[in-house]
Amino acid sequence: MELNDIKPADGAKHYKRRVGRGIGSGLGKTAGRGHKGQKSRAGGYHKVGFEGGQMPLQRRLPKRGFKSHLLKYNAEITLTTLGNLGAAEVDLLSLKQAGLVGQLIKVVKVIKTGEIKIAVKLNGIGATAGAKAAIETAGGSIA
């Protein structure tokens, strides 16, 4: 093999389509744009979702739902992960250091998923009614 023998693999390269270069090219006259109309003209097109003047779908349907911008500051932690943490006292800082909640989190709530066997004291952390009962049954408390 010589340097002058090297060529790209078959199908790797293809020729650019040259439009408007005569009848023999197959893309002469209207250059593949059909006849007349907005889409045949230079610079003539429409915005995304435009339906020819008909009321577009995104405006026909009602607005619905709401997503709080405060959600990024809230987190949940399960009873199982709380038990696996193995600390006697748990607060927001210890959860952040353990990597169980993100650094932006300001409000943490314990939810009743799984079970807890060790006594845990929660400081500044909320809990659902079921989770609170499970923690107190295990001998823990919520401050």
Q: Global pTM?
A: 0.55
Strand (E) positions, 5-133?
74-78, 89-90, 107-111, 121-122, 126-127
In this structure, what DSSP letter does residue 17 have? Answer: P
Using one digit for the tens of pLDDT, what is the confidence trace for 62-91?
999 999 898 899 999 999 999 998 888 999
Let me know how many helices (H) and strands (E) the chain has, helices first. 4, 6
Q: What is the mean pLDDT of each run of 10 residues along the chain (143 residues)?
A: 94 92 93 92 89 94 92 93 90 94 94 92 94 94 88
Report the distance separating Cα 141 and Cα 69, nearest Å: 31
Domain boundaries, given as residue ranges, for the chain: 18-50, 71-142
Report the distance separating Cα 22 and Cα 119, nearest Å: 85
| Amino acid letter, 55 | M
Assigned CATH topology for domain 71-142: Ribosomal Protein L15; Chain: K; domain 2 (3.100.10)
